[in-house]
């Protein structure tokens, strides 16, 4: 039975409780006014359309995430701050798949295609070359495919839902959700025909597949309304795609498109003020180097609101966007709303508005920890003994604490709900977890997950969902 909260006054709007057994009917939706259970056998007591729990001991039964009964006794309420789901989504760029990993244990829970095998009438076998994975507030993931494999030779995005949060669609007539359960368990997906482009996908957690208007599709960010913003490093058109579950009206459809202003499109995020930040590094010249900053409440048009390219202040009056002249690559944001940008062709990282160094050349992804420390993936290098096969650790003031040795070719980093740091390592297809408390606070690897031969995890984005602007979903799972 699924119970939905819908009347909280906190900044978070919805929480879900999932019951695996009890006296109520499975899949029945009911409202919550309080809770009560039988003291004998812990069975559910159902009165009409309500299930009632009332005491701390009731709430202790089962497990919960982001809710508590400690702030006010004998009452269930949302935590004052939320943690993301205990999953990380990793794009296997070379293999054309996406892997879901449990961040607590390192167990690989599923592997999914990022695109169908064909786009008729062509019989060419496709590889979407995914690289950007961004978790939405439901725990599901949106993935950008860099290769122009759409029917109109444009990039594509795919939405893979989280089965653990009842986000997948039971649509094939077989009871239960048919979905991947581990590494190499990749379900067939013939083409993008039918409903939402996924009717031929055997995996019922693949729920949307959309061709967008960009090429080299790399920018993928999610706003507080759960809508998805997409662009690319080739054709730099920005699309706003309706987000949400598969049964949300118009989900997966392009709501609006903005022609390119020649800035951004490689990767980025949306800050709590609704400003979209999008990088474009020197590696993708002749489009020039720049960092786009755009107020998404307004159209992407008009003149550059920062023509000097070095301002961090408000946009000039009457302008909607600005561009900083910086060799921007990976972007991340701290708890104060400060945006950090790595500079690939130097050893720098820029904090708007202060600078720091991270200790190595060719920086790529970055992430911010629970204490606002900054972690930087040092990218690829020529030899396996090169010190650039590391992740750098900085204080929020830019002080370089040191480097953590990881796998070969770290490109992306992410932070999970426990504060552990994850590094995706392109050259040896591995995923490593860093405990920041090890080695006198510099950090050290405490878990190594092999992603299988030929994964090639080239990742940027919010792989764990920590960078998504509020509001966020909270989950409580009562295992009755």
CATH code for the domain in which residue 357 is found = 2.120.10.30
Structure tokens at 382: 């020529």
Is the domain of 230 the same as that of 276?
Answer: yes
CA distance 410 to 429: 10
> Is residue 472 included in any domain, yes or no?
no
Domain boundary among 82, 111, 144: 82
**pTM of the entire predicted model:** 0.82
**Position 193 in a domain:** yes
Instruction: For residues 142 and 73, state if they share a domain.
Output: no
Has residue 374 been placed in a domain?
yes
Task: Find the domain containing 50 and state its range.
Answer: 2-82
Residue 465 inside a domain? The answer is: no
pLDDT one-digit tens code per residue, 331-343: 888 888 888 888 7
Instruction: Say how many domains are in the chain.
Output: 2
| Same domain (yes/no): 49, 102 | no
Residues 110 and 10 in one domain: no
Together in a domain, 212 and 74: no
Are 41 and 163 in the same domain? Answer: no
Q: Which of 474, 475, 464, 462 is nearest to 223 (CA)?
A: 462
How many residues belong to the chain? 480
Nearest to 434 by CA among 445, 442, 424: 445
The answer to whether residue 477 sits within a structural domain is: no
Domain co-membership, 38 together with 175: no
pLDDT of residue 350: 80
User: Within this chain, do residues 151 and 265 fall inside the same structural domain, yes or no?
Assistant: yes
The secondary structure of the chain, three-state, reads CEEEECCCCCCCCCEEEEECCCCCCCCCEEECCCECECCCCCCECEECCEECECCHHHHHCCEECCEECCCCCCCCEECCCCCCCCEEEEEECCCCEEEEEECCCCCEEEEEECCCCCCCCCCCCCCCCEEEEEECCCCCEEEEECCCCCCCCCCEEEEECCHHHCCCCCCCCCCCCCCCCCCCCCCCECCCCCHHHCCCECCCCEEEEEECCCCCEEEEEECCCCCEEEEECCCCCEEEECCCCCCCCCCCCEEEEECCCCCCCCEEEECCCCEEEEEECHHHCCCCCEEEEEECCCCCCCCECCCCCCCCCCCCCCCCEEEECCCEEEEEECCCCCEEEEECCCCEEEECCEEEECCCCCCCCEEECCCCCEEEECCCCCCCCCCCCEEEEECCCCCEEEEEECCCCEEEEEECCCCCEEEEECCCCEEEEEECCCCCCCCEEEEEEECCCCCCCCCECCCCCCCCCCCCCEEEEECC
For residues 192 and 150, what is the distance between their CA atoms, to the nearest angstrom?
9
CB atoms within 10 A of CB 227: 19
Cα separation values, 441 from 363, 394, 404, Å: 21, 11, 11
Asked whether residue 21 falls in the same domain as residue 38, the answer is: yes
Cα torsion 254, 255, 257, 263 to 10°: value is: -90
Sort strands 50-51 and 321-324 into parallel, antiparallel or unpaired.
unpaired
Whether the link from the prior residue into 121 is cis, omega within 30° of 0, is yes
Angstrom distance (rounded) from CA 41 to CA 368: 45
pLDDT at residue 12, as a whole number: 34
Q: How far is CA 288 from CA 128, 154, 229, 233, 306, in A?
A: 26, 22, 22, 11, 16
The angle at the Cα of 175, spanning 169 to 181, to the nearest 5 degrees, equals 70
Whether 92 and 51 share a structural domain = no
Domain contains 470: no
Is position 19 within any domain? yes
- pLDDT confidence of residue 309: 66
User: Taken in order 223, 355, 363, 396, is the CA torsion positive or negative?
Assistant: negative
Residues 142 and 75 in one domain: no
Domain-terminating residue out of 35, 58, 82: 82
- Domain finish residue from 82, 102, 125: 82
Both 141 and 279 in a single domain? yes
pLDDT score recorded for residue 43 = 36
CB neighbour class for 427 (10 Å; exposed up to 12, middle 13-18, buried from 19): middle
Residues of the chain with pLDDT under 50: 1-49, 353-359, 382-383, 387, 471-480
Chain center to CA of 452? 22
Domain contains 345: yes
């Amino acid at each position: 039975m699924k119970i939905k909260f819908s009347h909280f006054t906190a900044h978070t709007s919805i929480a879900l409780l999932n019951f695996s057994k009890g006296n109520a009917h499975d899949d029945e939706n009911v409202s919550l006014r309080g809770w009560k259970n039988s003291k004998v056998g812990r069975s559910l007591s159902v009165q009409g359309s309500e299930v009632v729990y009332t005491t701390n001991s009731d709430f202790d039964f089962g497990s919960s995430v982001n809710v508590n009964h400690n702030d006010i006794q004998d009452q269930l309420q949302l935590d004052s701050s939320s943690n993301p789901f205990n999953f990380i989504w990793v794009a296997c760029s070379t293999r054309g798949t996406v892997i879901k990993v449990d961040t607590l244990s390192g167990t690989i829970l599923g592997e999914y295609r990022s695109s169908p095998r064909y786009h008729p009438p062509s019989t060419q076998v496709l590889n979407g070359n995914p690289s950007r994975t961004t978790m939405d507030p439901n725990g599901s993931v949106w993935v950008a495919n860099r290769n122009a494999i759409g029917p109109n030779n444009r990039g594509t995005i795919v939405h893979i839902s989280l089965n653990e949060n009842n986000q997948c669609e039971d649509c094939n007539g077989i009871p239960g959700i048919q979905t991947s359960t581990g590494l190499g368990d990749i379900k067939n997906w013939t083409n993008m025909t039918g409903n939402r482009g996924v009717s031929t996908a055997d995996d019922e957690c693949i729920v949307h597949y959309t061709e967008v208007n960009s090429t080299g599709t790399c920018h993928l960010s999610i706003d507080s309304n759960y809508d998805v913003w997409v662009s690319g490093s080739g054709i730099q058109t920005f699309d706003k795609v309706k987000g949400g579950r598969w049964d949300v009206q118009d989900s997966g459809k392009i709501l609006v498109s903005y022609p390119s202003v020649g800035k951004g499109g490689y990767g980025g995020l949306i800050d709590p003020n609704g400003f979209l930040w999008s990088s474009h590094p020197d590696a993708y010249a002749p489009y020039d180097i720049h960092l786009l900053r755009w107020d998404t409440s307004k159209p992407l048009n008009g003149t550059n609101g920062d023509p000097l390219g070095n301002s961090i202040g408000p946009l000039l009056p009457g302008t909607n966007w600005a561009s900083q002249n910086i060799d921007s690559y990976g972007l991340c944001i701290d708890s104060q709303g400060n945006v950090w940008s790595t500079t690939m062709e130097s050893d720098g990282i820029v904090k708007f508005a202060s600078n720091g160094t991270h200790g190595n050349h060719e920086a790529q992804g970055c992430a911010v920890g629970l204490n606002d420390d900054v972690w930087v993936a040092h990218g690829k290098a020529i030899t396996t003994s090169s010190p650039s096969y590391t992740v750098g650790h900085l204080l929020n003031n830019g002080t370089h604490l040191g480097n953590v040795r990881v796998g070969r070719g770290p490109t992306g980093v992410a932070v999970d709900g426990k504060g552990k740091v994850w590094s995706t390592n392109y050259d040896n297809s591995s995923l490593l977890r860093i405990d920041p408390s090890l080695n006198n606070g510099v950090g050290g690897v405490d878990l190594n997950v092999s992603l299988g031969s030929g994964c090639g995890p080239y990742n940027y984005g919010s792989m764990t969902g920590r960078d998504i602007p509020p509001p966020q979903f909270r989950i409580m799972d009562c295992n009755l």
